[in-house]
A and B are shown apart, each in its own frame.
Chain A
């Protein structure tokens, strides 16, 4: 590993650790992208607290997770697992979609 790579990854890890220490164990929810569709179609999360949404793209092509209601937008490369923090949410339904395959990739986060 070159010094630059080491410095860069140290910086990233430090930032992540700072971020990591700023919260206690918070609820996680898993969302899978398969065949350009989301599974499950409705993700249930607790209202009123921050939630760690893990999006796992099991397709061979990238997808972009996007939601106007949740105010989130993130590219998920093929085979990758990304972390998206959402909330705190008021109880309700928050739609999301896959921008690269909008016809089939649709779902919602239900906060209750």
Chain B
């Protein structure tokens, strides 16, 4: 039972942290609980679908079908996160500034967070599929009740971690909330980019820069508690390949410079309107 709990905990942890951060980032938006729940439910449904099709998928494309599906899911999540960081969060800040100036409510000015909800669905889908596969496989083998209890405990543990980060972020003063959640989302996106690089290398689609650049597992092991959190929040990998590092840095660069560029363009437009 304990073994099952640990594994289910690890799988749900990443998705739960993700959801917790995005929930904090969308606080105050009207109807965002509906979007959040919708995203999670869509992810869960997709996870079951993916798990039930796992045997068929893994045989596709000469044994790399699963990596292709994985790369697709990561690609969608990365696109949505980039879109959010570069565009929506800027609009949010802009609208907030305008709204405060006009005295209207903060919520009226912000976009509906559907891009983030797609990311939530993707994240839940990925981790969920692995969890379903594992639990279903285990059910065929070992004792039933111990396994179910273990799975529930593990899932609760993972969810608790997500709640913990949500509560922690809720204590951040509203002025700083945008900056903090945007930074966290930035790191999540870079981490997804790094995982995308790994999926492409694993599938044999990219053959470049496949050697590990360094090994920091002497300093921080990825299966230590701190390492697990660092991996889930920022994509920490003790032995990243050159391709992973390149994707990680490229994602950071694209989002930071894209966001900066859009912000400047919007500020200029606002100033032009005033003049």
Q: Name A residues whose Cβ lies closer than 8 Å to a Cβ of B.
A: 9, 12-13, 15-16, 18-20, 22-23, 50, 52, 54, 60-64, 68-69, 71-85, 87-90, 99-100, 102-103
Distance A90 CA – B63 CA, assembled complex (angstroms) = 25
Q: How far is the CB of B185 from chain A (nearest CB, A)?
A: 23
Interface stretch of the complex, out of B158-166, B209-217, B260-268: B209-217
The list of the 4 closest CB pairs from A to B, nearest first, reads A83-B63, A61-B137, A16-B61, A85-B204
Q: Which of B61, B130, B134, B207 has the most CB of A within 10 A?
A: B61
Q: How far is the CB of B208 from chain A (nearest CB, A)?
A: 10
Given A12-B61, A54-B63, A80-B59: A72 touches B137 (CB 8 Å cut-off): no
Decide: B212 and A71 in contact? CB cutoff 8 A: yes
Total A-B contacts with CB atoms under 8 angstroms apart: 109
Q: Which of B3, B7, B64, B201 has the most CB of A within 10 A?
A: B64
Decide: B63 and A82 in contact? CB cutoff 8 A: yes
Distance A26 CA – B151 CA, assembled complex (angstroms) = 41
B182 close to chain A: CB less than 8 A: no
Distance A26 CA – B144 CA, assembled complex (angstroms) = 44
Decide: A100 and B204 in contact? CB cutoff 8 A: no
CB neighbours of A82 from chain B (8 A): 58, 63-64, 66
Decide: A12 and B66 in contact? CB cutoff 8 A: no
B67 close to chain A: CB less than 8 A: yes
CB neighbours of B198 from chain A (8 A): 71-73
B238 close to chain A: CB less than 8 A: yes
Q: Name B residues whose Cβ lies closer than 8 Å to a Cβ of A.
A: 3, 7, 54-55, 58-68, 130, 133-134, 136-138, 140-141, 198, 201-205, 207, 210-212, 217, 222, 237-241, 244
Q: Please pick, from B65, B204, B239, the residue contacting A12 in the complex, using a CB distance under 8 A.
A: B65
Q: Please pick, from B58, B64, B240, the residue contacting A16 in the complex, using a CB distance under 8 A.
A: B64
Q: How far is the CB of B150 from chain A (nearest CB, A)?
A: 13
Distance A62 CA – B207 CA, assembled complex (angstroms) = 28
CB neighbours of A75 from chain B (8 A): 54, 58, 66, 130, 133
CB neighbours of B241 from chain A (8 A): 71
Distance A86 CA – B267 CA, assembled complex (angstroms) = 48
Q: How far is the CB of B228 from chain A (nearest CB, A)?
A: 13
Closest to B129 in A: A75
Given A71-B240, A75-B130: A87 touches B217 (CB 8 Å cut-off): no
CB neighbours of A76 from chain B (8 A): 58
